[in-house]
């Protein structure tokens, strides 16, 4: 199939204004680095997604659902496939009793704030995570002792064959930064969370405390993808990196943050290659110094 025919089909499914070619992914990731996606497609609503995923699967063209790009590093060589982004039709947040239903593109921060306003507790840990609901379910996102698995009731998942299933938290086999969607790929459409009633002021107080901790301990002034590496069992990645003498280590403008060594940050014009090379250096030095193997938390797309 020619690129012209492919573009026309993508536009037919997603809408004429929702298909971009050679789109720089530095505009769509929190690292503010990386090459271009061959095609970048915004999916306006659920019907479009249910048509798009089986179609792309039938073409054999690589594709990836990017969420808000808060945990993503795209190669400087680009991504020779389709990056999908869910549009405004997936951002709705609604409440029924003590349950909140949120579309996959809804902001975690917005959902946590809306819950607090209504006097529902359980999402305070997510109040500073700059990701989407879908991405949070996919990786069982967490912070400050809280995780998505603690409040997720179920999620509607679109699988690659075009089938949809309502999967419980148990079905998704959620564990530390893992769901079974990493092994059986699927797209989160929406998710339902069960929360607890509490005093809104108490909830906001806890959220404010988490905010203070983030400002004090995390390098929020620089682009990053949050914690670069997963927490090894029995250890903290940031301490291992610090103990290996890597605080301030850098490749180009990619730095191991002096404020929190668990973060690799972009202090200017870091490339995806700079960031990746620094990640590899950190892994090597930590393994040499401590014997512990650090596993990236960041998802990497393309050729590095």
Q: Is 227 a catalytic residue?
A: yes
283/281 Cα distance (integer angstroms): 5
87: CB partners within 8 A, 6+ apart: 18, 42, 43, 44, 45, 105
Place of tokens 């969370």: 193
Angular region, 302: left φ>0, alpha ψ -120 to 50, beta rest: left
Could you say which of 127, 227, 249, 257 is catalytic? 227
183/178 Cα distance (integer angstroms): 10
Could you say which of 206, 242, 247, 297 is catalytic? 297
73/298 Cα distance (integer angstroms): 7
Q: Is 168 a catalytic residue?
A: no
Q: Is 132 a catalytic residue?
A: no
User: Closest Cα partner for 106 from 95, 98, 97, 96?
Assistant: 95
Could you say which of 177, 224, 249, 257 is catalytic? 177
74/77 Cα distance (integer angstroms): 8
Return the active site residues. Answer: 177, 227, 297
């Amino acid at each position: 199939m020619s690129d012209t025919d492919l573009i026309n089909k993508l536009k037919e499914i997603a809408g004429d204004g929702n298909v971009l070619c050679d789109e720089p992914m530095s505009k769509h990731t929190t690292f503010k680095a990386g090459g271009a996606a061959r095609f970048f497609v915004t999916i306006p609503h659920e019907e479009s997604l249910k048509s798009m995923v089986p179609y792309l699967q039938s073409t054999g063209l690589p594709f990836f659902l990017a969420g808000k790009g808060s945990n993503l590093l795209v190669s400087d060589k680009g991504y020779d496939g389709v990056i999908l982004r869910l549009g405004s039709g997936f951002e709705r947040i609604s409440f029924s009793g003590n349950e909140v239903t949120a579309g996959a593109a809804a902001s975690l921060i917005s959902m946590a704030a809306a819950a607090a306003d209504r006097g529902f507790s359980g999402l305070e840990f997510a109040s500073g995570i700059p990701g989407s609901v879908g991405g949070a379910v996919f990786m069982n996102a967490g912070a400050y002792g809280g995780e998505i698995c603690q409040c997720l009731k179920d999620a509607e998942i679109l699988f690659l064959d075009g089938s949809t299933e309502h999967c419980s938290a148990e079905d998704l086999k959620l564990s530390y930064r893992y769901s079974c969607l990493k092994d059986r790929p699927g797209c989160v459409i929406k998710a339902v969370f069960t929360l607890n009633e509490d005093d809104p002021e108490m909830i906001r107080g806890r959220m404010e405390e988490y905010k203070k901790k983030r400002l004090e301990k995390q390098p929020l002034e620089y682009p990053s993808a949050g914690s670069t590496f997963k927490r090894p069992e029995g250890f903290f990645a940031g301490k291992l990196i610090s103990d290996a003498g890597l605080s301030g280590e850098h490749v180009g403008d990619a730095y191991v943050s002096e404020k929190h060594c668990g973060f690799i940050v972009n202090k200017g014009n870091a490339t995806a290659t700079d960031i990746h090379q620094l990640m590899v250096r950190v892994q090597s030095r930590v393994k040499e110094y401590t014997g512990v193997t650090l596993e990236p938390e960041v998802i990497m797309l393309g050729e590095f």
